[in-house]
Amino acid sequence: MKTQIGQLIIIVCAITLAGCGLEVTTMCLEEGGITYEMPAQKQIKPSPPSLEILHGTDGTSKTNNFGFSFFGEKYTIKELDGNLTINGKDYGSVKKGDQVRIDKAGNVSVNGAPRPPK
């Protein structure tokens, strides 16, 4: 979590300096090789742990990778096992190297192609 917050602070500072004091309008995050670009916003809730152990009724256990989570003022973004959800809506699969963008109107695109929710 400290790494994500540190990355966010560095990105916001760099954007602010590049804009010569202009208001920050866009923020970018990178996690797991996937880049997320969205309207600037404040993180309002810490990210959950990256792993969870699930115990089945038959006594077996499985470790799930939570992937990436961001809880912002306007958008909640989660990527789990290659599946992207934004504000609880399923936007399909993403993989390392993909670029996810949310514009001001809330439209989502992956690698420049519009991606409506399922």
Residue pLDDT, tens place only, 22-61: 566 889 888 888 999 999 888 887 665 455 555 667 777 6
Between 101 and 3, whose confidence is greater?
Answer: 101
Q: Give the closest residue to 35 by CA, choosing from 88, 101, 109, 107.
A: 101
**Alpha carbon distance 4, 6 (integer Å):** 5
Which residues constitute the domain of residue 43? 2-114
**Alpha carbon distance 36, 84 (integer Å):** 11
DSSP secondary structure code for residue 56 in this structure? -
What pLDDT, on a 0 to 100 scale, did the predictor assign at position 20? 47
- Write out the two tokens for 75: 């958008």
Farthest CA pair distance, the chain: 60
Domain count of the fold of the chain: 1
9-32 average pLDDT score: 64
What pLDDT, on a 0 to 100 scale, did the predictor assign at position 29? 87
